[in-house]
Amino acid sequence: MLGVVWDVMRESREQWLQTNQRAHSSLDAHRRILAALGAHDGDTARRAAADHIKSVGEGILRLIGGSKV
């Protein structure tokens, strides 16, 4: 079961990152997380990571469901 979930996540991630805008957005999110970690600001890092995960999740749901979240 876990293998199936992993395959769906991998395919969705690859499709999600197909546009430059999405790829840049993801890279920017990772940079915000890294900057917060570098500043030893755990609260900001957690918020940035949560925001990124939420954004990617919503995008994947739109991608596989064809609807707006």
> What value does the mean pLDDT of the chain take?
82
Domain map of the chain by residue range?
Answer: 25-69
- Tokens 């707006």 belong to 68
CA atoms within 13 A on the CB side of 13: 8
Q: What's the predicted TM-score (pTM) here? A: 0.68
Summarize pLDDT for 42-69 with one digit per residue, the tens.
Answer: 999 999 999 999 988 888 787 777 655 5
Task: Report phi then psi at 47, rounded to 5.
Answer: -65, -45
66: helix, coil or strand?
coil
Q: What is the pLDDT of residue 23?
A: 79
Question: Given a cut of 90, is residue 10 above it in pLDDT?
Answer: no
Q: What is the pLDDT of residue 59?
A: 80
